[in-house]
Structure 1
């Protein structure tokens, strides 16, 4: 499985880079080899406030108000050691066979953030310094899984490992280097030939990835939305045009690519908005040889807990979170989330199925949720 021999595109200039104001390094993390690379990158990015802690507790993240705590956490990068509970890959259907976490927390300011309510404490971004141990889960779980591994529909992807369940790994890559290292190792066959990586991003700094011999074993999906919604709700991320430019660059470099259209919202004019999005994607990928493009669609939903957190973070948001306009969906553990009514969901799904086939033929829809 060899990447196509083509002239590599020049890396597009990134439109958004997140650089933390301060970096906290726990005592255990300071002993890890990968920490030296993280600190080298942070210093090169101009970070002056780097603190080596005397223990493994993160302190000083809380302010006097919720907004102050949010601001402090969102400008902090914590270099920590992944605990044993985070080292065992977990199933992550319908995206991939397994979840591997390079970090937890995200520097973006999306007003519908799906991490709200699922991660405890201040929303600090924690990058894992024990990278060797984290990635060893690829080796131990190769050949296992039920989403892609051994299936007729997606078996050609091998055993798949999702890297963006609890972070945007590209959004922090220029100060961590963890993502490119993971892609490099998998591309080199370090964990076997039948494995592949997947991640989703809202950022566009792909220079590191363009320089990696990935051997077509990584699929990079860009999280996109209708242009009006991306402008309104995707705070602190690369604009849609930047993401699509990066999407083209990676596709030309032989990467398998994808779209995560999320969160799809039934707002007034949604058909026109999403048609515009699909047309922009088509233009961005026009003429790319050997294009391998997939799509995944996630509709907007929220829980009572995530709504409370989001309203604390973004008290003036215009994001629609009206329980009376939604349908309750209960998990097997009794949790409640609010989704669009069945008729709305059916209407949107039918529209996307038709329009994807028309505007982006050859880009299969892996799942709708």
Structure 2
């Protein structure tokens, strides 16, 4: 079993001035008494981290050794409609892991170590008020039949965040006691500390899965696939709703056989209670031209899987970035084949959404 704590050896903390005025901020600082503290005006504007092209070649050291602490300013809920009803304000940004396809570095610069927000109480209060104002969910949808679902991990991985503070424990507790609300986050890490958080069926964990041969290259510093699969039953027994997240689906010669083997491994590992509650999301790879250039500096082998322009086409995003997606004429066929394979091996696994 992998040890998540080996991901972190914090020796430098960048912190906004207000951080030490929060109990959570003081708690986190006390965990790292020997760390160098560097005051910054904003967690978003740290010149030696963000936009520093020289850090691309030192990508992993930065993720291991640096931590950013700030105060979350915006507390609005964003409608989603895919994985969740709403995207909640994040209690973190960035990650200690280093998946080569991650979109966060596109927005945040060349290094995106974990940023933790110390006003988790404000986030919890905002979510609870929002859910109570909405009242009961009147009609079931593909997201959830009864609860309003809030994604609380859009820009990070809460399984790793839980190593650093009690923010995740507080979120799980808030959802447990809030009517009509359910939390949700995707993860590529197995943190068994979460098994003691008593979610009461009100937090959904989505374990991200892909064939191990691909994950060994592109899912850098994450828990092994077998460990993620083995954790599903344990998390269900602990009171979590557990779904799987086939994301991103990366196409290559032989992908069908590898995914069939993955589905068979999941099917063989799950208990009947886990199977009855299991659902899936399917997200085909979207890559990014700028991220491709960064990856070539620190992890070029990943680009052998991610950058395949012979079967991809470019599309300019709303923010002006150049993204690569699988060609429209073929993507639909490949997605249909993927869903057919899943239905053949795991007929009980409903696909909540796919794109």
Shared fold (TM-score greater than 0.5)? Answer: yes
Match of 1:339 in 2: 325
SS at structure 1 position matched to 2:200? coil
Q: Which runs of 5+ in 2 are unaligned?
A: none
Indicate if the aligned counterparts of 1:26 and 1:80 stay in contact, CA closer than 8 A. yes
TM-aligned CA distance change 1:95 to 1:176, over 3 Å:
same
What per-residue deviation string (whole Å, max 9, x for no partner) do you get for residues 239-279 of structure 1?
Answer: 11111122221012231101111111111100011111111
Q: Which moved more, 1:112-121 or 1:242-251?
A: 112-121
Counterpart-to-counterpart distance in 2, 1:297 and 1:64: 33
- Give the drift of 1:37: 3.3
1:79 to 45, 52, 69: 69
- Number of matched pairs: 344
- Give the drift of 1:49: 3.5
**Would you identify which runs of 4 or more consecutive aligned residues in structure 1 move more than 6 Å?**
none
Matched, 1:165 2:154: yes
- Give the drift of 1:201: 0.5
Match of 2:259 in 1: 274
Matched, 1:98 2:71: no
Matched, 1:182 2:171: yes
Pairing 1:185-224 to 2, within 5 Å after superposition: 185-187=174-176, 189=177, 192-207=178-193, 209-224=194-209
TM-aligned CA distance change 1:296 to 1:290, over 3 Å:
closer
Report 1 or 2 for greater relative contact order, CA contacts < 8 Å, sequence distance ≥ 6: 1
TM-aligned CA distance change 1:95 to 1:155, over 3 Å:
closer
Q: Which moved more, 1:350-359 or 1:216-225?
A: 350-359
- Give the drift of 1:78: 1.2
Q: Which runs of 5+ in 1 are unaligned?
A: 1-12
What per-residue deviation string (whole Å, max 9, x for no partner) do you get for residues 9-37 of structure 1?
Answer: xxxx5543322332413321111111233
Match of 1:28 in 2: 18
Match of 1:114 in 2: 103
TM-aligned CA distance change 1:233 to 1:212, over 3 Å:
same
SS at structure 1 position matched to 2:108? coil
TM-aligned CA distance change 1:333 to 1:81, over 3 Å:
closer
Match of 1:367 in 2: 353
Of Structure 1 and Structure 2, the greater helix share is in 2
Counterpart-to-counterpart distance in 2, 1:366 and 1:259: 10
Counterpart-to-counterpart distance in 2, 1:332 and 1:358: 37
Counterpart-to-counterpart distance in 2, 1:107 and 1:149: 39
- Give the drift of 1:238: 0.8
What per-residue deviation string (whole Å, max 9, x for no partner) do you get for residues 84-108 of structure 1?
Answer: 23x2222334111222211000111
Matched, 1:255 2:245: no
Q: What value does the CA root-mean-square deviation take over the aligned residues?
A: 2.7
TM-aligned CA distance change 1:21 to 1:255, over 3 Å:
same
SS at structure 1 position matched to 2:163? helix
TM-score in terms of structure 2 length: 0.87
TM-score in terms of structure 1 length: 0.84
Indicate if the aligned counterparts of 1:251 and 1:291 stay in contact, CA closer than 8 A. no
Counterpart-to-counterpart distance in 2, 1:142 and 1:28: 28
1:357 to 339, 343, 352: 343
- Give the drift of 1:177: 2.2
SS at structure 2 position matched to 1:88? coil
Counterpart-to-counterpart distance in 2, 1:346 and 1:59: 42
Q: Which moved more, 1:307-316 or 1:165-174?
A: 307-316
Indicate if the aligned counterparts of 1:157 and 1:196 stay in contact, CA closer than 8 A. no
SS at structure 1 position matched to 2:79? strand
TM-aligned CA distance change 1:59 to 1:30, over 3 Å:
farther
Match of 1:89 in 2: 77
- Give the drift of 1:219: 0.6
